[in-house]
C-alpha cells in the first residue's frame, strides 16, 4: 500500500492575525499575554469557517522564537486548549526564528500532503515586549572561540550593515526611499480596506485608562518622508546605513492560518484561497543572513519547475530594506516593481518575528482574490543565524489572458506538427 501512496494537494483556506503592536511598556499589548493573542486568532478562524467541526482539526502548530513564559509551555497545545478546541486535538511548538510561522505552515502542510492530516492550524506569536529577542539566551562559547560564526551574526542590525558592505550599490538613500514607499503602500492599502478583513480585534486593559478594542496596527508611520529618515541615527555602526526608519521595529502580535487537503476542503465546504506549489529553506553565512531568500527562492523555483519570470506577486518580509533590495537586485527586479509588497511590508506594519510568515500569506491570498491575472506568487523571508525561506503558491482564481491562451495553443500545435 505504501508504494501506491500519492502526495495530496495542500490548500490555504484562511488566515488571520492580530493587529501588530509596538513592543514595550507603551505598546498596546504591554498587559496582554502572548498565548491570549494566539487564542484570539484560533477562535477567529473557527468563527469565520463555521462548516469546520472543531474535532476535524488534526494538529495545531504555533511558532515562537523565544519559547519561554507566556509563549512557552508547548504553545501549540496550550493555545488549542485555551481556545476551546477539543482535547483530542494535539499541538506543538516550533522555532525557526523569523520563519517560525512559515515553518509551522510548511511542516503541517507536509503532513497533509503525506496523508497524516486533513485539516490543521498553523501560526506564530512573538511578544517582544515580554521577551526581547535573545533575552536569556546562552550561546555556546564555541561560536566565538572556534570562530564558527562571525560575532556580527548575533546582531541582526550588524548583518544588515554587512549586506550594505557586500552590495555598495544599495545605498542608504535607496533603502530610505524603499522604506518610505512601504509606509505609503500600507497607508493606501488601509484606505482601500485591504488590510482590515484579516485583522482580529483585540481588547486590552491599560491601568488607569480602562479597556480599548484594538482594530488597526500600531507601528505604521504614514506620511514619513525621505528627509525624516535621513535624520535618524544609525545605531549599529557610526556613519552606517541601517536605521530605525529602514528596518522593521520591535513588535508584538500573533497569526494563524487554516490549511487543508484539497479533498477535505471540498468535503467540508471550506474556501480555497491558495494552493501550495513548493517550498524551500536554505542556509547562508550567518553574518549576511539577509541574503537568505535568494538561494531559498532559487531552490523553491527549481522544485516547482518555474522561473522567476513566472512569479506575478512577491510578498517579501522587510526585516531590513537592504535585505529586500539585495533580493530584487539579484533577480533583476526594480525597487518599485508593482508586483512587490503591494500592501507595504514589515518596515511599516511591523515584524513580530515568528508570526510574520502567515502575515505574508494573508496578504498574498488577498491579492490573489483581487488580481486574477496572476498565476503564481511567493512568500519569502530571511532568517536569523543565516537562513532563508520561500513558499510558492498558486492562485485558484487565475484566469489566463487571451494572449496567454493563444500562445499556449500555438505552442501545442507547433509541438504536434514537429512530432508528426
Cite the active site residues. Answer: 98, 351, 382
| Category of 230 on φ-ψ map: left (φ > 0), alpha (ψ -120 to 50) or beta | alpha
**Cross-strand partners of 232:** none
Reference 320, options 367, 384, 238; nearest CA is 384
CA distances 412 to 257, 304, 307, 408, 409, Å, are 39, 21, 20, 6, 5
Name 95's Cβ contacts closer than 8 Å, sequence gap at least 6. Answer: 63, 64, 65, 67, 354
For cell 508570526, name the residue. Answer: 355
Question: CA 122 from chain center: how many Å?
Answer: 12
Q: Render 289-346 in DSSP notation, one character per residue.
A: GGGTHHHHHHHHHHHHT--GGGEEEEEE--SBHHHHHHHHHHTT--TT-TTB-TT--H
Cell numbers describing residue 252: 508584538
**Which residues are bridge partners to 15 per DSSP?**
257
| Cα(216)–Cα(18) distance, integer angstroms | 9
Question: What count of other Cβ atoms lies within 10 Å of the Cβ of residue 53?
Answer: 11
CB-based burial of residue 135 (10 Å sphere; 0-12 exposed, 13-18 middle, 19+ buried)?
A: exposed
Q: How far apart, in whole angstroms, are the C-alpha atoms of residue 45 and residue 257?
A: 8
At 224 the three-state DSSP class reads: coil
Name 56's Cβ contacts closer than 8 Å, sequence gap at least 6: 118, 119, 264, 268
Q: What is each CA distance from 302 to 9, 78, 278, 279, 323, in whole angstroms?
A: 19, 38, 9, 10, 22
43 neighbors 270 (Cβ within 8 angstroms): no
Amino acid at each position: 500500500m505504501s508504494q501506491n501512496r500519492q502526495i495530496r494537494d495542500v490548500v490555504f483556506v484562511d488566515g488571520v492575525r492580530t493587529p501588530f503592536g509596538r513592543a514595550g511598556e507603551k505598546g498596546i499589548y504591554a498587559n496582554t499575554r502572548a498565548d491570549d493573542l494566539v487564542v484570539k486568532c484560533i477562535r477567529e478562524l473557527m468563527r469565520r469557517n463555521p462548516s469546520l467541526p472543531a474535532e476535524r482539526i488534526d494538529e495545531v502548530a504555533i511558532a515562537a522564537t523565544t519559547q519561554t513564559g507566556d509563549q512557552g509551555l508547548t504553545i501549540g497545545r496550550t493555545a488549542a486548549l485555551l481556545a476551546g478546541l477539543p482535547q483530542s486535538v494535539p499541538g506543538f511548538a516550533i522555532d525557526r526564528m523569523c520563519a517560525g510561522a512559515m515553518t509551522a505552515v510548511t511542516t503541517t502542510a507536509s503532513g497533509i500532503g503525506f496523508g497524516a492530516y486533513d485539516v490543521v492550524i498553523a501560526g506564530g506569536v512573538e511578544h517582544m515586549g515580554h521577551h526581547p529577542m535573545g533575552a536569556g539566551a546562552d550561546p555556546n562559547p564555541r561560536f566565538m572561540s572556534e570562530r564558527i560564526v562571525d560575532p556580527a551574526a548575533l546582531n541582526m542590525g550588524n548583518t544588515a550593515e554587512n549586506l550594505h558592505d557586500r552590495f555598495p550599490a544599495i545605498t542608504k538613500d535607496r533603502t530610505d526611499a524603499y522604506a518610505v514607499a512601504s509606509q505609503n503602500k500600507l497607508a493606501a492599502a488601509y484606505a482601500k480596506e485591504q488590510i482590515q478583513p484579516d485583522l482580529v480585534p483585540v481588547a486590552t486593559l491599560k491601568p488607569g485608562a480602562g479597556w480599548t478594542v484594538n482594530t488597526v496596527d500600531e507601528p505604521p508611520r504614514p506620511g514619513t518622508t525621505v528627509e525624516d529618515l535621513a535624520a535618524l541615527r544609525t545605531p549599529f555602526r557610526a556613519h552606517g546605513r541601517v536605521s530605525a526608519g529602514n528596518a522593521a521595529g520591535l513588535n508584538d502580535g500573533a497569526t494563524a492560518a487554516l490549511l487543508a487537503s484539497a479533498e477535505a476542503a471540498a468535503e467540508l465546504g471550506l474556501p480555497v484561497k491558495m494552493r501550495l506549489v513548493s517550498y524551500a529553506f536554505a542556509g547562508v553565512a550567518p553574518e549576511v543572513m539577509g541574503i537568505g531568500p535568494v538561494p531559498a527562492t532559487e531552490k523553491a523555483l527549481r522544485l516547482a519547475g518555474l522561473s522567476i519570470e513566472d512569479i506575478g506577486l512577491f510578498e517579501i518580509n522587510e526585516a531590513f530594506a537592504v535585505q529586500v533590495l539585495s533580493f530584487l537586485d539579484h533577480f533583476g527586479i526594480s525597487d518599485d516593481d508593482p508586483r512587490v509588497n503591494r500592501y507595504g511590508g514589515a518596515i511599516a506594519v511591523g515584524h513580530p518575528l515568528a508570526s510574520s510568515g502567515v502575515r505574508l500569506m494573508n496578504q498574498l491570498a488577498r491579492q490573489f482574490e483581487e488580481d486574477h491575472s496572476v498565476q503564481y506568487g511567493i512568500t519569502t523571508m530571511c532568517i536569523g543565524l543565516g537562513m532563508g525561506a520561500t513558499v510558492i503558491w498558486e492562485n485558484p482564481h487565475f484566469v489566463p489572458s487571451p494572449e496567454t491562451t493563444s500562445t499556449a495553443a500555438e505552442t501545442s500545435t507547433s509541438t504536434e506538427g514537429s512530432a508528426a
